[in-house]
């Protein structure tokens, strides 16, 4: 542990401009997603909470199909053009949805909505994962500890901006209740513009030759990511860690939704409650990313950050068990989200910089897309399965505690295998 770490990272003048570009790059990536998120969430609510595991399973299957295609693609194209090709593909998808929404009838919009829900989840994970792939291939491990918190802050501002745009283009949820025709169309156009801006800023982040051990093409088969996870203990531990924390996030989320439903039957009041959470989470996460993440990473390292997650989950589940109130929901949701986006995510991305080039492009995306969605599915069916046997939703908290302890152990294993390499 370094005891002489300055609170703020030292940034040279030559680094400031490229750091600002990375900040704006992530700003537009998350702005594009958070503008679409309200449409996705509305479709999830319409489907019902206990149908959520089926929707998540559809997302997981989509991830399973898409990952080999992505792996095959990045094996054969120039690294400098990966962002252009992948983001352009999603822009093309958005144009298709824009056309379908504009001309489809009532029946067609139902199926368009179902397809959009699954697609939106794939979109959110791929555009973010590929952004971080670009970052971990540009910055080395030391720079990642200095800069990734600041870069993440750009994403938080973009998320806030995208959410604000979504609110502007949507009708009032309370009273009129739904997003108008103009809303989705405007939000899709905004997301297309944001992705185009992200592509523009991505041109400054060509992979550094010093970080790589191969030529401009990555090579390998379409199943390389799966093979590497199976044979490499460090990558496998990372995969298990991501499955566990996404599983526990889903369990916590479903428990919180049950408490919120018992608290109020008024959808407007519930919507206002979740809106207040967003208003609190965004600025606090931004402060964490700008002023604390870099310092904590350089001061205590990844082991403490990754291992403490299980303790946070254990405290959260015990709080739900003993104090199942709306105040507890607010405190738990805010704490977990600030820790995840403000500290844990930058830490995992910092660890990814120590992986081999092929793993940075393939295994990390496989982990952050398919394995993360697998954790969601496991968490959803974990809750639904226990509730189906007659166990009260709040009793699920005790069943989840061993998994909270396991994630702390896996955090230790990940840091031991990768950080000390």
pLDDT at 149 over 70: yes
Confidence of residue 95 (pLDDT cuts 50, 70, 90): very high
pLDDT at 70 over 50: yes
- How far apart CA 311 and CA 317 sit, in angstroms, is 10
Report the residue count for the chain.
Answer: 421
For residue 224, CA distances in Å to 69, 71, 108, 307 come to: 11, 7, 38, 29
Confidence of residue 222 (pLDDT cuts 50, 70, 90): very low
- How far apart CA 294 and CA 282 sit, in angstroms, is 18
Per-residue pLDDT of 353-368, as tens digits, reads 777 766 666 778 788 8
Q: Which residues contact 315 (CB under 8 A, 6 or more apart)?
A: none
Q: Looking at residues 207-215, what average pLDDT do you find?
A: 50
**Region of poorest pLDDT, from 101-105, 211-215, 368-372:** 211-215
pLDDT at 332 over 50: yes
Confidence of residue 205 (pLDDT cuts 50, 70, 90): confident
Torsion of CA 116, 119, 123, 129, to 10 degrees: 150
Q: State whether residue 8 is helix, strand or coil.
A: coil
pLDDT at 393 over 90: no
Count Cβ atoms below 10 Å from residue 180 Cβ, excluding itself: 12
**Region of poorest pLDDT, from 11-15, 48-52, 175-179, 417-421:** 175-179
Q: What is the mean pLDDT of the chain?
A: 79
Spatial CA neighbour of 236 closest among 410, 419, 421 = 410
pLDDT at 220 over 60: no
Q: Looking at residues 256-263, what average pLDDT do you find?
A: 83
pLDDT of the residue at 179:
45
Count Cβ atoms below 10 Å from residue 61 Cβ, excluding itself: 14
Confidence of residue 178 (pLDDT cuts 50, 70, 90): very low
For residue 62, CA distances in Å to 116, 123, 239, 370 come to: 12, 11, 18, 8
Spatial CA neighbour of 333 closest among 285, 268, 286, 281 = 281
pLDDT at 47 over 80: no
Q: Looking at residues 92-106, what average pLDDT do you find?
A: 81
For residue 400, CA distances in Å to 18, 83, 114, 336, 349 come to: 43, 38, 30, 15, 26
Torsion of CA 78, 34, 125, 248, to 10 degrees: 160
Confidence of residue 172 (pLDDT cuts 50, 70, 90): very low
Q: Looking at residues 302-321, what average pLDDT do you find?
A: 90
Per-residue pLDDT of 334-346, as tens digits, reads 999 899 988 888 8
- How far apart CA 123 and CA 162 sit, in angstroms, is 15
Q: Looking at residues 229-234, what average pLDDT do you find?
A: 77
pLDDT of the residue at 420:
54
Q: State whether residue 78 is helix, strand or coil.
A: coil
CA angle at residue 320 from 316 to 321, to 5 degrees? 115
pLDDT of the residue at 215:
45
Domains of the chain by range and CATH? 16-209+220-419 (1.20.1250.20)
pLDDT of the residue at 418:
62
Q: State whether residue 73 is helix, strand or coil.
A: helix
Query: pTM, whole model, 2 decimals?
Result: 0.73
- How far apart CA 417 and CA 368 sit, in angstroms, is 19
Spatial CA neighbour of 145 closest among 298, 21, 340, 354 = 298
pLDDT at 419 over 70: no
- How far apart CA 326 and CA 256 sit, in angstroms, is 8
Confidence of residue 212 (pLDDT cuts 50, 70, 90): very low
Per-residue pLDDT of 267-311, as tens digits, reads 657 756 776 777 788 888 888 887 887 778 778 777 888 889 999
């Amino acid at each position: 542990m370094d005891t002489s770490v300055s609170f703020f990272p030292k940034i040279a003048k030559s680094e400031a401009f490229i750091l600002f570009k990375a900040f704006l790059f992530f700003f537009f990536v998350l702005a594009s997603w958070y503008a679409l998120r309200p449409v996705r969430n509305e479709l999830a609510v319409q489907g019902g909470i206990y149908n959520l595991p089926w929707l998540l399973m559809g997302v997981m299957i989509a991830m399973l199909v898409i990952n080999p295609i992505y792996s095959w693609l990045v094996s054969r194209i120039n690294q400098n053009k990966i962002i252009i090709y992948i983001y352009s593909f999603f822009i093309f998808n958005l144009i298709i949805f824009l056309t379908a929404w504009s001309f489809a009838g009532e029946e067609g919009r139902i199926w368009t909505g179902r397809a959009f829900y699954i697609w939106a989840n794939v979109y959110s994970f791929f555009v973010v994962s590929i952004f971080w792939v670009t970052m971990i291939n540009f910055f080395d491990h030391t720079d990642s500890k200095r800069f990734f918190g600041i870069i993440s802050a750009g994403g938080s501002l973009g998320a806030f901006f995208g959410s604000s745009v979504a609110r502007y283009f949507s009708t009032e949820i309370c009273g009129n209740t739904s997003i108008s025709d103009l809303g989705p169309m405007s939000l899709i156009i905004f997301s297309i513009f944001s992705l185009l801006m992200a592509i523009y800023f991505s041109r400054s982040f060509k992979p550094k030759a010093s970080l790589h051990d191969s030529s401009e093409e990555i090579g390998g088969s379409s199943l390389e990511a799966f093979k590497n996870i199976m044979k490499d203990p460090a990558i496998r531990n990372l995969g298990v860690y991501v499955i566990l924390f996404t599983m526990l996030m889903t369990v916590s989320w479903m428990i919180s939704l049950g408490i919120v439903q018992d608290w109020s039957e008024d959808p407007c009041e519930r919507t206002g409650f979740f809106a207040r959470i967003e208003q609190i989470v965004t600025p606090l996460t931004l402060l964490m990313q700008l002023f604390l993440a870099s310092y904590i990473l350089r001061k205590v390292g990844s082991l403490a950050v990754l291992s403490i997650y299980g303790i946070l989950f254990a405290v959260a589940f015990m709080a739900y068990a003993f104090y199942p109130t709306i105040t507890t929901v607010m405190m738990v949701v805010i704490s977990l989200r600030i820790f995840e986006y403000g500290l844990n995510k930058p830490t995992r991305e910092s660890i990814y910089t120590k992986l081999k080039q092929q793993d940075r492009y393939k295994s990390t995306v496989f982990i952050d897309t398919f394995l993360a969605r697998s954790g969601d599915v496991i968490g959803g069916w974990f809750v639904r399965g226990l509730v189906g046997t007659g166990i009260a939703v709040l009793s699920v908290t005790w069943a989840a505690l061993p998994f909270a302890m396991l994630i702390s152990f896996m955090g230790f294993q990940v840091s031991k295998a990768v950080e000390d390499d």
